[in-house]
Amino acid sequence: MSEHERETGLFTGSVLFGGLWSDGEVTELLSDRTLIGAMLEVEAVLAEAGQVAGLVPAAAAAAIAAAARGLDIAPEMLAAATARDGVPVPAMVQRLRRAVTGEVAGFVHLGATSQDVLDSAMMRQAAQVLAVIDRRLAQLVARLTALADAHRATMMAGRTRGQIALPVPLGLRIAGWAAPLIRHRRRLTELQPRLLVATLGGPVGSLSGIDPDAAARLEAEFAARLGLTLPPMPGHAQRDGLAELGSWLSLVAGALGKIGADLLIMARSEIAEVRIGGAGGSSAMPHKRNPVRAELLVAAAREVAGRLGALHGALIHAEERDGAAWTVEWQSWPAMAVATAAALNHAGGLLDDLEIDVPAMQARAGDGDDRGSANRFIDRVIADASHADGRLSGEGEDA
C-alpha cells in the first residue's frame, strides 16, 4: 500500500484510480512527508515560544528550532513506532532529542503532548488545503456566472419532479449552480477561525506543571507563530471544528454533485441538450460517449457525504482524550478534502468541454418566452459573486 493510500484512502491514492478520485496538489499537501515537516515546525515554534515565555534558554531554543527545521525524517522511519504507539509524535520527538546535545534535549517538546503537536500540524495542513479549494471555487464561480450571463436568452424546458414544466432560461439554471458555491465561500471565511486553531494543553489539557502566567505567554506566542487562532481552551476532546470542516466539504461536494446530476440528465441520448466532451468510451459499445466527469461529480458527493457520518461520530471524544475517536478523524477529513478537490478539477474540465445545443433546448421549450424575474435573479447571483469575491480578497467594505 502506498503512502497516499494509507493517508487519504484506497482510491484517492491508487495509481489505477487516482485519475478519478485523487488530486495531486492537495494529496501532496496531506502527504506523510508534509505532515512530518509540519510536526517538526510545531516543535521548532514550541521551543521559540518557550523562550519568549521564559521557559527555554535562548541557546536551547535556537538549537532545537534549527535541529527541527533541519531534520529529514522519512515516513518509513516512524511507521513501526506509530503502529505501536498509535501516533507518530513520540518516535519523532525521540529523534529530535537525539539531534540536539546535552541538556538541550530536556527542553524539547516542553509542556506539550502528542495531540498538541499532531492537531496543530494538521491545522497547518488544513489551512493550505482550504486555500487551494477556495481558489478553485472562486475560479468555478467566475466561469459559471459568465456562462449564466451568456445564456440569459437561451430558453429551455424547465423540469420539476422529472417532468417538463414551463420554459426557463438556461442562464437561470446555471446561476442556480453558482449560488450555493458563493455561499460556501462565505461559510469558509466564517468557519476558519473556529477550525484553524492551535492546540497546546499538555497531558490533560491544563498545561499542568507550567506557571499560569508563563503558560499564557507560551500559548499566545505558540499560536501566533504558527499563524493559527488561540481558542479559549485546548480542544483535545472538543472536535466540533473538524466536524464543521467535514460538513463544509460535504456541502461543496454536494453542490458539485447537483451540477453533475443535472448535466447527466441534459446529456441523455433522448434529451441531448448538451454534449459532454472528453467523454469516456465503452468496452462493448463503441458508439457511446459516457459522461464520466459528470458521473464523478455525483460519485464524489456521495463519497464525501458517506465519510461525514464517521467524522461526526468522532465528536464523541470521551473524557480528556480519546484515541479511538481521534484516529477516525485522520482517515476521514483528508480523504474528504482530496475527493472534494478532485471534484472541483473535474467540474472545471467539464465546463471546458461542454457543448450546449441551443436549438435543441429551444425546440423543446416551445414558443414560451416568459422569463419572469429570471434576469433579475441572474443579476443578483452575479452581483453576489462579485461582492463575495471582493470581500474575501480584502476589497470592498470593512468586515
On whether residue 81 sits in a domain, the answer given is: no
Compute the half-sphere exposure of residue 139: CA atoms within 13 Å on the CB side of its CA. 15
To the query of whether residue 282 is one of the catalytic residues in this protein, the response is yes
For the chain, what is the domain count?
1
On whether residue 57 sits in a domain, the answer given is: no
Choosing from 33, 84, 268, 282, the catalytic residue is 282
On whether residue 56 sits in a domain, the answer given is: no
Q: Of 58-72, 172-186, 315-329, 367-381, where does mean pLDDT reach its minimum?
A: 367-381
What span, in angstroms and rounded, lies between the C-alpha atoms of 322 and 325? 6
What span, in angstroms and rounded, lies between the C-alpha atoms of 176 and 148? 9
Q: DSSP of 258-302, one letter per residue?
A: HHHHHHHHHTSTTT-SEEESSPBP-SS-TT--B-HHHHHHHHHHH
On whether residue 55 sits in a domain, the answer given is: no
Q: Are 240 and 196 in contact (CB under 8 A)?
A: no
**Interval 124-168: pLDDT, tens:** 999 999 999 999 999 999 999 999 999 999 999 999 999 988 899
0.85 exceeded by the pTM?
A: yes
Candidates 263, 309, 325; CA nearest to 290 is 263
What span, in angstroms and rounded, lies between the C-alpha atoms of 8 and 2? 10
What element of type H or E holds 95? helix 89-99
Question: Domain with 349 in it: what CATH number?
Answer: 1.20.200.10
Q: What letter represents residue 258's amino acid?
A: K
To the query of whether residue 321 is one of the catalytic residues in this protein, the response is yes
CA distance readout (Å), 297 to 132, 206, 265, 337, 347:
18, 44, 13, 14, 7
CA distance readout (Å), 39 to 100, 124, 266, 351:
17, 9, 48, 39
User: Quick check: 399 pLDDT over 70?
Assistant: no
On whether residue 287 sits in a domain, the answer given is: yes
Q: What does residue 58 show for φ and ψ, rounded to 5 degrees?
A: -60, -45
pLDDT at 12: 55
Candidates 316, 155, 126, 146; CA nearest to 239 is 316
**Interval 186-243: pLDDT, tens:** 999 999 999 999 999 999 999 999 999 999 999 999 999 999 999 999 999 999 999 9
pLDDT at 45: 98
Listed as own residue / partner, the contacts of 275-280 with beta carbons closer than 8 Å and 24 or more positions apart are 275/354, 275/355, 275/357, 276/350, 276/353, 276/354, 276/355, 277/352, 277/353, 277/354, 277/355, 278/349, 278/352, 278/353
On whether residue 182 sits in a domain, the answer given is: yes
On whether residue 11 sits in a domain, the answer given is: yes
Would you call 358 exposed, middle or buried from its count of C-beta atoms within 10 A (0-12, 13-18, 19+)? middle
What element of type H or E holds 156? strand 155-160
Q: State the Cα angle at 27 between 34 and 221, rounded to 5°.
A: 40
On whether residue 106 sits in a domain, the answer given is: no
Choosing from 6, 95, 321, 364, the catalytic residue is 321
**Interval 341-363: pLDDT, tens:** 999 999 999 999 999 999 999 99
Across the range 265-273, mean pLDDT stands at 92
**What domain range is 261 assigned to?**
3-31+113-200+234-392
Across the range 61-75, mean pLDDT stands at 97
